[in-house]
């Protein structure tokens, strides 16, 4: 999760988030190169005399027409690649349905019979040592690590948004509509998120907690709840 005064992203815990962070760094380097070039040209124009060759130069006009097109292609190609990767859902090992309410989440494991529960934020007075205020819930989502997970997101009342930053996931929950997303956790751990759509007075109190565990631990947990 994020730390105080943190400027960068949270540590990536899924391949999609790793790709997003790499694209972010790539876009920043392009922006840095553009800003440096513009600053250099502005300094040059303010300190040097303009000659007739500078005022009317076909070569310069050609460069400043083609160069922006090349820059846009450098940004568009990796961006489109990541966009298609985020939309690709190929034979998930587990399907999870997340339903947003005011102001809690309901989760259904559709591959299991009667495996569903509500997830409420824990009040501050009930927190155990080591738990995070406004982020801990009474029932976490348990998933197997290194397995493709499909999440079907919807809402029961108003607009919500199911978002877990370290997994690179953010999907709107719309009443009467099913949206879906997918992710793979690359390591065991606990990943925190929140509702990212203003949904009413208690919008700030809809945390999301995803716990990634080895497959054997997930099977033991699911069999215990299903029994």
pLDDT band at 206 (very low <50, low <70, confident <90, very high): very high
- Same structural domain for residues 175 and 215? yes
Domain that holds residue 211: 94-225
Buried b (16+ CB within 10 A) or exposed e, 141-176: bbbbbeebbbbbbbbeebebbbbbbbbbbbbbbbee
Q: What is the pLDDT of residue 5?
A: 78
Q: What is the pLDDT of residue 29?
A: 94
Mean pLDDT to the nearest integer, 204-217: 93
Query: Is residue 210 assigned to a domain?
Result: yes
What's the mean per-residue pLDDT of the chain?
Answer: 89
Q: Using the structure block, give the residue that is written with the tokens 């990943």.
A: 191
- Same structural domain for residues 67 and 131? no
In angstroms, how far is CA 191 from the centroid of its own chain?
Answer: 12
- Same structural domain for residues 51 and 130? no
Percentage of the chain surpassing pLDDT 90?
A: 61
d(CA 164, CA 141): 12
Pairing of strands 141-144, 207-213: parallel
- Same structural domain for residues 218 and 107? yes
The per-residue pLDDT for range 107-132, each reduced to its tens digit, is: 999 988 889 999 999 999 988 888 89
* CATH number of the CATH domain containing 34: 1.10.287.90
- Same structural domain for residues 37 and 103? no
- Same structural domain for residues 118 and 218? yes
- Same structural domain for residues 108 and 169? yes
d(CA 107, CA 59): 61
Q: What is the pLDDT of residue 226?
A: 67
Count of domains for the chain: 2
d(CA 15, CA 146): 10
- Same structural domain for residues 158 and 203? yes
- Same structural domain for residues 148 and 216? yes
d(CA 22, CA 156): 36
d(CA 105, CA 158): 12
- Same structural domain for residues 132 and 44? no
- Same structural domain for residues 190 and 149? yes
The per-residue pLDDT for range 3-18, each reduced to its tens digit, is: 777 788 888 899 999 9
* Residue 34 reports pLDDT greater than 70: yes
- Same structural domain for residues 132 and 176? yes
């Amino acid at each position: 999760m994020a730390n105080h005064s943190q400027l960068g992203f949270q540590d990536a815990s899924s391949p999609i988030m790793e790709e997003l962070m790499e694209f972010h760094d790539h876009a920043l380097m392009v922006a840095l190169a553009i800003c440096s070039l513009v600053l250099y040209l502005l300094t040059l124009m303010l300190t040097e005399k303009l000659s007739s060759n500078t005022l009317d130069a076909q070569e310069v006009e050609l460069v400043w027409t083609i160069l922006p097109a090349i820059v846009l292609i450098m940004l568009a190609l990796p961006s489109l690649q990541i966009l298609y990767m985020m939309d690709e859902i190929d034979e998930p090992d587990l399907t999870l349905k997340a339903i947003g309410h005011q102001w809690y989440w309901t989760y259904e494991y559709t591959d299991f019979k009667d495996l569903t529960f509500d997830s409420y934020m824990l009040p501050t007075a009930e927190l155990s040592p080591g738990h995070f205020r406004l982020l801990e819930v009474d029932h976490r989502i348990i998933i197997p690590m290194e397995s493709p997970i499909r999440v079907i997101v919807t809402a029961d009342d108003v607009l919500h948004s199911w978002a877990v930053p370290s997994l690179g996931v953010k999907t709107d929950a719309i009443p009467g509509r099913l949206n879906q997303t997918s992710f793979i956790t690359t390591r065991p751990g606990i990943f925190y998120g929140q509702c990212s759509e203003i949904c009413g007075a208690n919008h700030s109190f809809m945390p999301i907690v995803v716990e990634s565990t080895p497959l054997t631990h997930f099977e033991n947990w699911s069999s215990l709840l299903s029994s």
